[in-house]
A = this chain, B = another copy of it.
Amino acid sequence: MAIKGVLLDLSGVLYVGSDPVPGALPALQRLQSSGLPLRYITNTTRSTRRDIYTKLKRMGFAVREDDIFTAPGAIRHYLGEHELRPHFLIHPGLEPEVADLASEDPSAVVLGDAGEAFTYERLNLAFRLLMDGAPLIAMGNNKYFKEADGLSLDVGPFMAALEYAADTQAVVLGKPARAFFLSAVAELGCAPGDAVMVGDDALADVQGALEAGLQGILVRTGKYREGDDAQIKAPGAIVVDDIGAAVEWVLAHA
């Protein structure tokens, strides 16, 4: 086994809130210097890809914007392929990225991590569209993420609420969707089995990657909580302290 490419989750791995995780800056530099193909893969749906790029740069991470894979990118592809007119229930910060897609006569509901924009009124509007037969498309199914002041609800719980209410099942794009991992791996230029995913979400990052045929490393930073390891049912997960230790492992197995 030799690692030939790396996928990195962003929030909780490289940073928490607006601050780099301790040791993340030199760890990423070291990984970049190794020459291993590297992509960033995130379900963060509170900001556009440009905003994510700008934020990383401001914190001192030297990334290329094109190397960031986002769930909204996958959604755009899916909507086009299925000729769907979306109604968005997403974070205001993401709206610029999809403004050209929104429809007055929607045939699908697209759900992101809308945060404070998850009002009863907006959830009810989405619910009524689902009851009229619109499919539900979710930008990931993550349960929660870590902010500076604690854990916060991600898109998954609101997806679960709408699924329960309308007796439907969401199409999940973004992690842990297999297709999402594989499209990022395709850019690494290696086989899925030679790629490794590093993330702080036991299910969306690590379990998802393992199920898509990648290798998976869980870091104990960000949203990680004692015992999360046990949620990973697929065999082969590596668990390390942080991105520094993950890079260590990757380089030792490259």
Chain A residues near B (Cβ < 8 Å): 114-121, 123-124, 127-128, 131, 143-144, 150-154, 156-158, 160-167
When distances are taken between beta carbons in the complex, the residues of chain B under 8 Å from A164 are: 143, 156-157, 160
Q: How far is A169 from B117 in the complex, measured between Cα atoms in Å?
A: 26
Residue pair A157, B151 in contact (C-beta under 8 Å) = no
Q: Please classify the interface of chain A as helix (H, G, I), strand (E, B), loop, or mixed, using the class held by over half of its residues.
A: helix
Residue pair B120, A118 in contact (C-beta under 8 Å) = yes
| CB contact under 8 A between A120 and B127, given known A165-B144, A165-B153, A165-B157 | no
When distances are taken between beta carbons in the complex, the residues of chain B under 8 Å from A162 are: 157
Copies per assembly: 2
When distances are taken between beta carbons in the complex, the residues of chain B under 8 Å from A119 are: 116, 118-120
Nearest-CB residue, chain B, relative to A126:
B153
Nearest-CB residue, chain B, relative to A131:
B151
Residue pair A156, B152 in contact (C-beta under 8 Å) = no
Nearest-CB residue, chain B, relative to A156:
B164
Could you list 7 A-B pairs, sorted by A, with CB under 8 Å?
A119-B119, A120-B153, A123-B157, A143-B165, A154-B165, A157-B162, A157-B165
Residue pair A123, B165 in contact (C-beta under 8 Å) = no
Contact among B116, B128, B143 for A120, CB-based, below 8 A: B116
Residue pair A124, B143 in contact (C-beta under 8 Å) = no
| CB contact under 8 A between A156 and B165, given known A115-B120, A116-B121 | yes
Q: How far is A164 from B160 in the complex, measured between Cα atoms in Å?
A: 7
Q: How far is A30 from B154 in the complex, measured between Cα atoms in Å?
A: 52
Q: How far is A124 from B157 in the complex, measured between Cα atoms in Å?
A: 11
Nearest-CB residue, chain B, relative to A117:
B120
Chain B: minimal CB distance from A165 (Å): 4
When distances are taken between beta carbons in the complex, the residues of chain B under 8 Å from A163 are: 160
Q: How far is A153 from B160 in the complex, measured between Cα atoms in Å?
A: 13
When distances are taken between beta carbons in the complex, the residues of chain B under 8 Å from A118 are: 119-120, 123
When distances are taken between beta carbons in the complex, the residues of chain B under 8 Å from A127 are: 144, 151-153, 157
Q: How far is A174 from B152 in the complex, measured between Cα atoms in Å?
A: 29
> Lowest 3 A-B CB distances belong to which pairs?
A160-B164, A157-B161, A161-B161
Q: How far is A162 from B118 in the complex, measured between Cα atoms in Å?
A: 14
Q: How far is A156 from B164 in the complex, measured between Cα atoms in Å?
A: 8
Q: How far is A162 from B154 in the complex, measured between Cα atoms in Å?
A: 11
Chain B: minimal CB distance from A200 (Å): 16
Chain B: minimal CB distance from A209 (Å): 20
Q: How far is A121 from B126 in the complex, measured between Cα atoms in Å?
A: 19
